[in-house]
A and B are shown apart, each in its own frame.
Chain A
Amino acid sequence: MSRRFTPKVVTANALLEGDAVWLRADGGWSRDMHDAQLFEEEELANEALRHALAQPDLVVGAYLADAKAGPEGPVPTHFREDFRTRGPSNYHLGKQAEA
């Protein structure tokens, strides 16, 4: 049997800006991971990913990333995804500078 499914968000990079974006429940994209829809069920997650992959005019390289529920919305569980919500650690650039 496959491993137990862990909660996921759909994420990608925006086509024009290149920055990280997350799929919202309304089918649109947000630059803030807290707005993302958190999928607890594998089938729904896969369906959302198919929806994302069908939007090559908006995003590039959509994939499912592990996440968990936080007080303000989904938060990352892996450091790579955490960096994507912030930006690089050597300069105040990227999402951390937009907040």
Chain B
Amino acid sequence: MYRYDDFDDAFVRTRVAQFRGQVERRIDGSLTEDEFKPLRLMNGLYLQLHAYMLRVAIPYGTLRAEQMRQLGMIAERWDEGYGHFTTRQNIQFNWPKLKDVPDILEALADVEMHAIQTSGNTIRNVTADHFAGAAADEIEDPRPAAELLRQWSTDHPEFQFLPRKFKIAITGSPNDRAVVKAHDIGLRMIRNEAGEPGFEVLVGGGLGRTPMIGKVIRDFLPKEDLLPYCEAIVATYNLLGRRDNKYKARIKITVHENGIDTFRDLVEQKFIETRAAFGGADQELLREIEAAFAPPAFRAVDTAPFEAAREADPVFRAWADTNLAEHKDAGHAIVTISLKKPGATPGDATAEQMRVMADLADKYSYGELRVSHEQNIILPHVAKDDLPALHDALKSVELATANLGLVSDIIACPGMDYCALATARSIPIAQEIAERFEELKLEHEIGELKLKISGCINACGHHHVGHIGILGLDRAGVENYQITLGGDATETAAIGERAGPGFPAEEIVGAIERLVLGYLDVREGPEETFLQAYRRLGPDPFKAALYPDTKDAA
């Protein structure tokens, strides 16, 4: 994996020292909140409902074991013993004290991490396929390109005050696990007719109050043009994007209002300049970065013990069949550790769990972990003969839940339990739905179902792209939950459609249960997923299940 060089280290430590001085001056009264707020936000420090919140970037969702261990240490020493992994592949600490934050940032710098550009109208943490570097279907590991983007975008002088925040996602596989179509720039690796790898470039995707699927701005971008082309896009947006209205400032609105063809023409014009200015200077750096991401030397594995354990132990089999993904090396598997035990808070891990996952990464996954936007943790390279022992170790810390991609594997934003922007709670709804389906013992029969919950219209919980989406709102002083149907976060991305009137908190779990049982009644067989059934039948049978008292639902 990429390691900080002297420049990176000095840059991060300088920022920590600056912020330490800024915090001291805020506490002694020489800085007002108006002066201090932009400074703390530049360093990822928010003020939420009950406390400060520190958002730490996990670049492209990749962690080394020592970094995960340090996150656990921070949770224990300066927070309340846990951390929350988010849909942006970040981790949030919900209870830091202002005076401790410089020490936390110092501890992060010790393991080559920081909270820079996790807020503000800047280019945020670049997110990536959480199976990067491991997936069998991958053309190339996208992380060298992601790291190049990180270095280019960090403290980029032209892009510190964009019209609005800016999010880039990248996948090295044509099968999109990184929701690239819902990002300001989405990069999907494909091959051209000559078989060379490059990127399909999407622009203007996003969720929030105006959800939009990204539009293709370039069918095929050669790899070496990545930075100058991204610079051309962001520079064009920086000039053209609206600054008069916060709700119309994202690039999705710029592209929508100007049209993709006009926007593309402007970008291509700018690209002539940026391409000449770069002159390929970044390519040498890219080659160094690529060397740093060379895959580990995968050992030869006899898969017989794995097959035997799978036959012998139904609990292991259920977990293996649900939580493993195909690795590019046939002797290895990609393991997803579910942070979605029914009743638990989606995305939360205790300090002890973080330590255990770090140790297991050292022991079984060549020291590597990933964070998924679906709020789970991945051990990317586990030899198949180690899987039974790994499963045993995960069971001991309640991390062996076999529910990946199932109804209880819910994405949920922090909602009004933590977030100052929220209009309703998300976490208790996720907990109750997961517990209800646990009781019903139906979720393996139901099969793949992506349920995503946001506690406000900003859609951090990605509800628009959930097969079932839930949006929590404040309706006349009462929490109310709207359901959307038919969303899709993959390469066939779609925005879900609103099903009808919302439900109060005490009715939402029953409504979801009716909806899912209704799907079981109408599907053609176990191989037809909820989303496929929805696409085949349209919304009517699902609305009828949701609103049984409405006679004219059809």
Known: A16-B98, A18-B52. A91 touches B80 (CB 8 A): yes
Contact for B51 among A19, A79, A89, A90, CB less than 8 A: A19
**Least CB separation from B50: chain A residue:** A94
- Asked whether B99 lies within 8 Å of A79 as measured between CB atoms, the reply is no
* CB of A87 closer than 8 Å to a CB of B: yes
Q: Is the CB of A83 within 8 A of B416?
A: yes
CA distance A64 to B48 in the complex (A): 17
Instruction: Give the size of the chain B interface in residues (CB under 8 angstroms).
Output: 32
User: Is residue B338 within 8 Å, beta carbon to beta carbon, of the partner chain?
Assistant: no
CB of A56 within 8 Å of the partner chain: yes
Establish whether residues B477 and A89, one from each chain, have CB atoms under 8 Å apart when the complex forms. no
The answer on a CB contact under 8 Å between B427 and A90 is: yes
**Complex interface bits, A32-69 against B, C-beta within 8 A gives 1, otherwise 0:** 00000000000000000000000011001100000000
Chain B nearest CB, measured from A49 CB (Å): 15
Q: Select one of A57, A78, A90, A94 contacting B431, CB under 8 A.
A: A90
A80 to B417, CA, bound (A): 9
Residues of A within 8 A of B477 (CB): 77-79
**Minimum Cβ distance to chain A for residue B44 (Å):** 14
Among A56, A60, A90, point to the contact of B47 (Cβ < 8 A). A60
B27 in contact with A19 (CB, 8 Å)? no
Q: What is the distance, in angstroms, from A80's C-beta to the closest C-beta of chain B?
A: 6
- Neighbouring B residues of A15 by C-beta, 8 Å: 26-27, 33, 98
Tell me, rounded to whole Å, the shortest Cβ–Cβ distance linking B24 to chain A: 12
A20 contacts partner chain B, Cβ-Cβ < 8 Å: yes
**Are B51 and A18 interface neighbours, CB within 8 A?**
yes
Q: Which residue of A is nearest B343, CB measured?
A: A90
Interface residue from A16, A89, A94, A95 paired with B97 (Cβ < 8 Å): A16
Do residues A61 and B416 form an inter-chain contact, with CB atoms below 8 A?
Answer: no
> When the two chains form their complex, are residues B99 and A87 in contact, meaning their CB atoms are under 8 A apart?
no
Q: Is the CB of A90 within 8 A of B478?
A: no
Name the residue of chain A whose CB is nearest to the CB of B428. A89
Asked if A17 CB lies within 8 Å of chain B CBs, one says yes
Contact with A along B403-419 (1 / 0, CB 8 A): 00000000000001110
Pairwise interchain contact B417-A90, C-beta atoms closer than 8 A: yes
Mask, B123-135, CB within 8 Å of A = 1, is 0000000000000
Write out the residue numbers on chain A whose beta carbons fall within 8 Å of the beta carbon of B96. Answer: 18
Contact, CB under 8 Å: A83 / B33:
no
Nearest A residue (CB) for B346: A90
Please give, as numbers and ranges, the residues of chain B lying within 8 Å of A83 by CB-CB distance.
49, 416-417, 425
Interfacial chain B residues near A18, Cβ < 8 Å: 47-48, 50-52, 96-98
Q: How far is the CA of A61 from the CA of B48 in the complex (A)?
A: 11
Contact yes or no, B32 A56, CB < 8 A: yes
Does any Cβ of A come within 8 Å of B29's Cβ?
A: yes
Contact B427 A89 (CB under 8 A): yes
Taking CB atoms and an 8 Å cut-off, the chain B residues in 24-74 that contact chain A are: 26-27, 29, 32-33, 47-52
Using known A-B contacts A16-B99, A18-B98, determine if residue A93 contacts B80 with beta carbons closer than 8 Å.
yes
Considering the chains assembled together, what is the distance between the CA atoms of A79 and B431 in angstroms?
19
Structural contact, B49 and A89, CB atoms closer than 8 A? no
Tell me whether B345 is interfacial, beta carbon within 8 Å.
Answer: yes
Does B479 make an interface contact (CB < 8 A)? yes
Query: Chain A residues with Cβ under 8 A from B94's Cβ?
Result: 88
In angstroms, Cα B259 to Cα A47, docked, is 50
A93 surroundings in chain B (CB, below 8 A): 50, 80, 95
Distance in angstroms from B364 CB to nearest chain A CB is 30
Q: Is the CB of B416 within 8 A of A94?
A: no
Complex contact B50–A20 (CB within 8 A): yes
Q: Is A13's beta carbon under 8 Å from chain B? A: yes
| Bound-complex Cα distance A36 to B474 (A) | 25
CA distance A94 to B80 in the complex (A): 10
Asked whether A61 and B418 contact (CB < 8 A) given A15-B27, A90-B427, A90-B431, the answer is no
B345 / chain A contacts, CB cutoff of 8 Å: 90-91
Structural contact, B98 and A84, CB atoms closer than 8 A: no
**Given A17-B97, A79-B478, A88 and B50 touching (CB < 8 A)?**
yes
Whether A17 contacts B29 by the Cβ 8 Å rule is no
Query: Is B427 a contact partner of A94 (Cβ separation < 8 A)?
Result: no
A10 to chain B, nearest CB (A): 16
Bound-state CA distance A17–B96 (Å) is: 8
The smallest beta-carbon distance between B131 and chain A, in angstroms, is 29
Q: Which residue of A lies closest to B51 (CB)?
A: A18
Within 8 A of B (CB), among A2-40: 13, 15-20
| Shortest beta-carbon distance from B152 to chain A in Å | 34
**Chain B nearest Cβ from A13, distance in angstroms:** 6
Indicate if the CB atoms of A89 and B425 lie closer than 8 Å.
yes
Cross-chain contact B50 with A89 (CB below 8 angstroms): no
Closest-CB distance, A70 to chain B (whole angstroms): 17
Give chain A nearest CB distance to B352 CB in angstroms: 15
A80 cross-chain contacts in B, Cβ below 8 A = 49, 416, 474
Q: Which residues of B contact A78 (CB under 8 A)?
A: 477
| B53 (CB) vs chain A CBs: closest residue | A18
> In the complex, which residue of chain A has the Cβ closest to the Cβ of B30?
A57
List chain B residues, Cβ under 8 A from A20. 49-50
21 contacts between A and B (CB under 8 A): A15-B33, A16-B98, A17-B51, A19-B50, A60-B33, A78-B477, A79-B474, A79-B479, A80-B416, A83-B49, A83-B417, A84-B49, A88-B50, A88-B418, A89-B417, A90-B348, A90-B417, A90-B428, A90-B431, A93-B95, A95-B50
In the A-B complex, the 6 residue pairs with the smallest Cβ-Cβ separation, listed nearest first, are A88-B417, A18-B52, A18-B51, A57-B29, A94-B50, A90-B345
- B-side residues, CB < 8 A to A, are 26-27, 29, 32-33, 47-52, 80, 82, 94-99, 345, 348, 416-418, 425, 427-428, 431, 474, 477-479
**Given A16-B99, A84-B50, A95-B50, 5 other A-B contacts at CB below 8 A?**
A18-B96, A57-B29, A88-B94, A88-B418, A89-B425
